[in-house]
Homo-oligomer: A and B are copies of this chain.
Amino acid sequence: MLSKKTKYGLKALTYIAKNEGDNPVQISEISKNENIPQKFLESIMLTLRKSGFLGSKKGKHGGYYLIKEPANIKMADVMRVLEGPIAMVPCVSLNFYEKCDDCPDEHDCSVHKLMIQVRDNTLKVLRNNTLEDLSGS
């Protein structure tokens, strides 16, 4: 299940991509228009800034802006930062690999084989889609 954190984060990025002008976009504006609790959104924006997707300007007339072109922001990368691993089990994760406690040999594990296929297909979608695709009409 997708966490609210990720969902809100994706919506916020989309909102900024659509509404970015000369001034940065403020949390309060996104919060109102997308029905996201403001304080919760605050922490999400912080994460997105610290991970290099957003820049920010403090103080009056401050807010957030995109650092990269929407076409260069892959959903796979955003998801990894907000949601964590894309794979459904750590033992098939490319970026967050971990051995399973219960498997003596993962190459002999039926779940492993299945989850690699799921991961590959999910990755294909998340790599093909950029913020431009999400924010485009």
**Residues on A facing B (Cβ under 8 Å):** 1-2, 7, 10-11, 14, 34-36, 75, 84-85, 88-89, 101-104, 109-111, 113-115, 117-118, 121-122, 124-126, 129, 133-135
Q: List 6 A-B contacts (CB under 8 A).
A: A10-B111, A11-B111, A35-B103, A113-B134, A114-B126, A121-B125
B residues in contact with A114, CB < 8 Å? 10, 75, 125-126, 129, 133-134
Say how far A44's CB is from chain B's closest CB, in angstroms. 13
Copies in the complex: 2
- Ranked nearest first, the 6 interchain pairs of A and B with the lowest CB-CB distance are A110-B134, A35-B102, A121-B121, A14-B110, A2-B88, A117-B125
Chain A binding surface, main DSSP class: helix
Which residue of B has the minimal Cβ distance to A115?
Answer: B2
Given A2-B115, A102-B34, A102-B36: A7 and B125 interface contact (C-beta under 8 Å): no
Instruction: Kindly list 14 other residue pairs between chains A and B, CB separation below 8 angstroms, not including A7-B111, A11-B111, A114-B133.
Output: A1-B84, A1-B88, A2-B89, A2-B111, A2-B115, A10-B111, A10-B114, A35-B101, A36-B102, A114-B129, A117-B125, A117-B129, A118-B126, A122-B122
